[in-house]
């Protein structure tokens, strides 16, 4: 099993492309959405929901948890949560991923009372201008193993790489008989 996750969307053009590829392979993924992007792109957010992908909270403004007070950070997470709920998304398990993986311990503890905190073991570097899309793909494949949670990004910074990397990554592991699932299933099984 591999858990595909996408951070930073929804973003027109890029999120649509990712959803099209997931549909082609009949795969569900988890999208850690930024509140302001949901607000700007409500139709695209609804498409993620309608296609039965999982939604996670990625703060309202994609803020760095080390640079904000705990109180400000918690307010930002709650603002995103309220927006997600107002758009009609309900989940058995609420998921949260801190942008950049940066969060203060006190904030982590408070958020952990309401959300399952989801980190990762493979970062695709699909956003890196210093790494070719081929190297990003090869490193992502190299470090993936059964149970991997991998981060991709459905954001502007991945526009030139995402289609190639996602399509080839999924193709590779489908040929090896891997299955793909949403993160909430991991928590519901335990």
**pLDDT tens sequence across 148-179:** 999 999 999 998 899 999 999 999 999 999 99
Non-local (6+) Cβ contacts of 80 within 8 A are 33, 34, 35, 38, 57, 58, 59, 60
Is residue 123 within 8 Å of residue 158, measured between CB atoms?
no
Instruction: Please write the tens of the pLDDT for every residue from 62-93.
Output: 999 999 999 999 999 999 999 999 999 988 89
Instruction: Please write the tens of the pLDDT for every residue from 85-125.
Output: 999 998 889 999 999 999 999 999 999 999 999 999 999 99
Instruction: Please write the tens of the pLDDT for every residue from 36-64.
Output: 999 999 999 999 999 999 999 999 999 99
Domain that holds residue 39: 2-189
The active-site residue out of 8, 58, 81, 153 is 153
In DSSP terms, which residues pair with 3 in a beta bridge? 149, 181
Whether pLDDT at 185 is above 90: no
Is residue 59 within 8 Å of residue 34, measured between CB atoms?
yes
Number of domains in the chain: 1
Which tokens is 128 given? 């890196």
Is 62 in the active site? no
Q: What is the pLDDT of residue 190?
A: 57
Residue 42's CATH number: 3.20.20.370
Non-local (6+) Cβ contacts of 166 within 8 A are 18, 21, 126, 152
Residue written as token pair 């990712």: 18
The active-site residue out of 7, 81, 154, 184 is 7
Torsion of CA 32, 34, 40, 41, to 10 degrees: 0
Is 20 in the active site? no
Backbone angles phi, psi at 83, to 5 degrees: -65, -45
- Band (186; pLDDT cuts 50, 70, 90): confident
């Amino acid at each position: 099993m591999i858990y595909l996750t996408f951070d930073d969307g929804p973003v027109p053009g890029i999120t649509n492309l990712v959803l099209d590829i997931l549909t082609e392979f009949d795969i569900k993924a988890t999208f850690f959405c930024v509140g302001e992007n949901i607000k700007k792109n409500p139709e695209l957010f609804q498409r993620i929901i309608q296609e039965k992908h999982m939604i996670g909270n990625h703060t309202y403004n994609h803020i760095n948890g080390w640079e904000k007070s705990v109180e400000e950070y918690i307010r930002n997470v709650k603002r995103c949560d309220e927006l997600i709920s107002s758009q009609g998304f309900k989940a058995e398990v609420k998921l949260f991923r801190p942008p950049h993986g940066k969060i203060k311990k006190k904030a982590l503890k408070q958020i952990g009372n309401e959300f399952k905190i989801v980190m990762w073991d493979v970062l695709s570097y699909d956003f890196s201008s210093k790494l070719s899309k081929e190297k990003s793909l090869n490193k992502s494949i190299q470090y993936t193993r059964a149970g991997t949670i991998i981060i991709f990004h459905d954001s502007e910074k991945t526009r030139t790489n995402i289609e190639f990397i996602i399509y080839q990554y999924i193709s590779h592991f489908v040929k090896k008989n891997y299955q793909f699932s949403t993160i909430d299933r991991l928590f519901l099984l335990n």
